[in-house]
């Protein structure tokens, strides 16, 4: 009489395990999880943007100093993300992401009780460390676990969740600022972060294609060098720095512009301007579909041109034109990000977590560096200076897209 096969014998090897297929309960759970994760990450990181004018009054600091509450955690997150991807290769994708989102929510809740500006900044720096465990690892998880025919859709939903979080965090924090001050705004965002983190933990399916690898710093450096040798990846990393830096700078200082003459909007009205993020929620999936029809390279430079056109519309002292310009800028940004992030995943033939982390390192460093410089430009030259500065970064991004990325040989050629 033959014995029954063991559980190990019945468990498929990682390469034989089924992918998460579109339309299945696992696919719906994964999408819910990443919508929550994207929401939590971007809501907790960017909720301080509408609060920057409030910080200048509460702590008697300059606009450039108040912007450190965003530029410091983004810079720290960008650097730590390079290590987080390697840690996920050793201990697993889901554990790293779960710890990341839960700790981030707790730190945001704690920042509501910060007694002074210095302690508040330290908590924001720690938030950057905690948040690093999600974005690059999420991209790797989707590439590994979701069926290739549905991975673009899943990535689009994740980015849509990011857009929803970016919008929700800004709008909710801005309204709470008018209602009860920055303490209530940060406390409310911390509670939302903890709840969404728990939903993410419960909903995300366990990895089935993940293979743990020993943590090797030498191997990590080799993977980075391998990706940086690819000309296409290098240019995509530069593009991420430029378009993300431009987008964050616009949103950092548009609040200061709108509360000043000739607009004279209230904090609540400025907060409602951030509902324009809804444009980005639809852009990431719409542009992905258009790229399938017209080509990723063509759609990419068109999205950068859309960002540049939106910036131009914000320059005249007209509220309707400014709102329209922010909407165009938002659409172009999320379209560009969706195309560039999926492009990185396709060009990286191995060590995709490291490719994603390099892309996001450039992406968030753009937010930190260009965003910080924007504070100096705003204080010295006003919105006209911001226009010239971002016009330069977006024009450079457009030239790279047209002269380099549009002529890029496919992987394995040239």
Q: 136 pLDDT band (50/70/90 cuts)?
A: low
Q: 15 pLDDT band (50/70/90 cuts)?
A: low
User: Tokens for 307?
Assistant: 């960002």
Q: For residues 20 and 391, what is the distance between their CA atoms, to the nearest angstrom?
A: 42
Residue 10 has pLDDT above 60, yes or no: no
**What's the confidence (pLDDT) of residue 103?**
94
DSSP category for residue 62: -
- Please give the average per-residue pLDDT across 60-87, as a whole number: 88
Distance between alpha carbon 129 and the CA centroid of its chain, in Å? 15
Q: For residues 166 and 158, what is the distance between their CA atoms, to the nearest angstrom?
A: 12
Question: What percent helix, strand, coil does the chain show, rounded to 5?
Answer: 80, 0, 20
Q: What percent of the chain has pLDDT over 70?
A: 93
Range scoring the smallest mean pLDDT among 224-228, 281-285, 304-308: 281-285
From the list 312, 311, 191, the residue with the least C-alpha distance to 251 is 311
Whose structure tokens read 């014995």?
Answer: 3
Q: 241 pLDDT band (50/70/90 cuts)?
A: very high
**What's the confidence (pLDDT) of residue 1?**
44
DSSP 313-335: HTSSS-HHHHHHHHHHHHHHHHH
Residue 289 has pLDDT above 90, yes or no: no
Residues 6+ apart with CB under 8 A from 337: 159, 240, 243, 244, 284, 363
User: Tokens for 156?
Assistant: 């689009």
**What's the confidence (pLDDT) of residue 8?**
42
Residue 237 has pLDDT above 90, yes or no: yes
**What's the confidence (pLDDT) of residue 412?**
54
Range scoring the smallest mean pLDDT among 215-224, 236-245, 326-335: 215-224
> Which domains are assigned to the chain?
23-207+224-407 (1.20.1250.20)
Range scoring the smallest mean pLDDT among 127-136, 309-318, 346-355: 346-355
Q: Which residue stretches of 47-147 are H helix?
A: 52-59, 63-66, 68-91, 93-111, 117-131, 135-145
Instruction: List 20's β-bridge partners, or say none.
Output: 146
**What's the confidence (pLDDT) of residue 17?**
64
pTM, whole model, 2 decimals? 0.79
Q: For residues 157 and 303, what is the distance between their CA atoms, to the nearest angstrom?
A: 19
**What's the confidence (pLDDT) of residue 177?**
86
Q: 355 pLDDT band (50/70/90 cuts)?
A: confident
From the list 32, 7, 12, 27, the residue with the least C-alpha distance to 208 is 12
Summary mean pLDDT of the chain: 86
3-state SS, residue 63: helix
The 3 state secondary structure assigned to 373-392 is HHHHHHHHHHHHHHHHHHHH
- Please give the average per-residue pLDDT across 333-346, as a whole number: 88
Which position has the higher pLDDT, 92 or 65? Answer: 65
Residue 96 has pLDDT above 70, yes or no: yes
Residue 4 has pLDDT above 60, yes or no: no
- Please give the average per-residue pLDDT across 91-106, as a whole number: 89
- Range 139-167 burial, b when 16+ CB lie within 10 A, else e: bbbbbbbbeeebbbbbbbbbbbbbbbbbb
Residues 6+ apart with CB under 8 A from 322: 254, 257, 258, 263, 313, 314, 316
User: Tokens for 3?
Assistant: 């014995």
CB atoms within 10 A of CB 388: 12
Q: What percent of the chain has pLDDT over 90?
A: 43
- Please give the average per-residue pLDDT across 246-269, as a whole number: 92
Task: Say if residues 267 and 361 touch (Cβ distance below 8 Å).
Answer: no
Residues 6+ apart with CB under 8 A from 109: 186, 187, 190, 191, 193, 194
Which among 13-22, 128-137, 160-169, 203-212 has the top mean pLDDT? 128-137
Residue 268 has pLDDT above 80, yes or no: yes
Measured CA distances, 9 to 5, 20, 354 (Å) = 6, 21, 32
Tell me the pLDDT tens digit for each residue of 251-260. 999 989 999 9
Which position has the higher pLDDT, 251 or 157? Answer: 251
Tell me the pLDDT tens digit for each residue of 357-392. 899 899 989 999 999 999 999 999 999 999 999 999
User: Tokens for 23?
Assistant: 């339309």
Tell me the pLDDT tens digit for each residue of 173-207. 988 988 888 999 999 999 999 999 999 998 988 87
């Amino acid at each position: 009489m033959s014995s029954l096969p063991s559980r190990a014998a019945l468990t498929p090897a990682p390469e034989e395990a089924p992918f998460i297929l579109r339309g299945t309960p696992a696919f719906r759970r994964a999408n819910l999880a990443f919508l929550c994760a994207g929401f939590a990450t971007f809501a907790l990181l960017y909720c301080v943007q509408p609060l920057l004018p409030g910080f200048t009054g509460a702590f008697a600091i300059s606009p450039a100093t108040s912007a450190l509450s965003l530029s410091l955690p983004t810079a720290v997150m960008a650097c730590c993300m390079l290590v987080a991807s390697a840690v996920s290769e050793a201990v697993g994708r889901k554990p790293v992401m779960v710890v990341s989102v839960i700790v981030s929510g707790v730190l945001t809740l704690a920042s509501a009780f910060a007694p002074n500006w210095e302690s508040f900044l330290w908590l924001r720096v720690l938030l950057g460390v905690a948040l690093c465990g999600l974005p690059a690892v999420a991209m790797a998880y989707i590439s590994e676990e979701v069926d290739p025919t549905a991975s673009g859709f899943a990535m689009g939903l994740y980015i849509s969740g990011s857009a929803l979080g970016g919008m929700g965090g800004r709008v909710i924090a801005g309204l709470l600022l008018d209602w009860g001050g920055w303490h209530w705004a940060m406390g409310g965002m911390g509670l939302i972060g903890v709840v969404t983190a728990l939903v993410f933990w419960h909903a995300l399916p366990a990895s089935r294609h993940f293979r743990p690898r020993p943590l090797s710093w030498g191997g990590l450096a080799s993977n980075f060098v391998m990706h940086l040798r690819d000309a296409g990846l290098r240019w995509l990393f530069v593009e991420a720095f430029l378009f993300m830096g431009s987008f964050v700078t616009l949103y950092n200082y548009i609040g200061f512009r709108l509360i000043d003459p000739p607009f004279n909007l209230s904090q609540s009205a400025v907060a409602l301007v951030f509902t324009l993020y809804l444009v980005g929620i639809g852009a990431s999936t719409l542009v992905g579909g258009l790229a399938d029809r017209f080509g990723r390279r063509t759609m990419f430079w068109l999205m950068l041109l859309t960002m540049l056109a939106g910036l131009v519309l914000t320059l005249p002292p007209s509220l309707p034109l400014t709102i329209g310009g922010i909407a165009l800028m938002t659409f172009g940004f999320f379209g560009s990000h969706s195309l560039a992030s999926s492009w990185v995943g396709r060009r990286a033939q191995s060590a995709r977590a490291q490719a994603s982390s390099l892309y996001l390192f450039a992406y968030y460093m753009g937010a930190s560096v260009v965003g910080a410089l924007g504070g100096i430009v705003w204080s010295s030259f006003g919105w006209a200076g911001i226009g010239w500065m971002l016009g330069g970064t977006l024009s450079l991004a457009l030239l790279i897209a047209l002269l380099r990325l549009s002529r890029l040989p496919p992987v394995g050629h040239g």
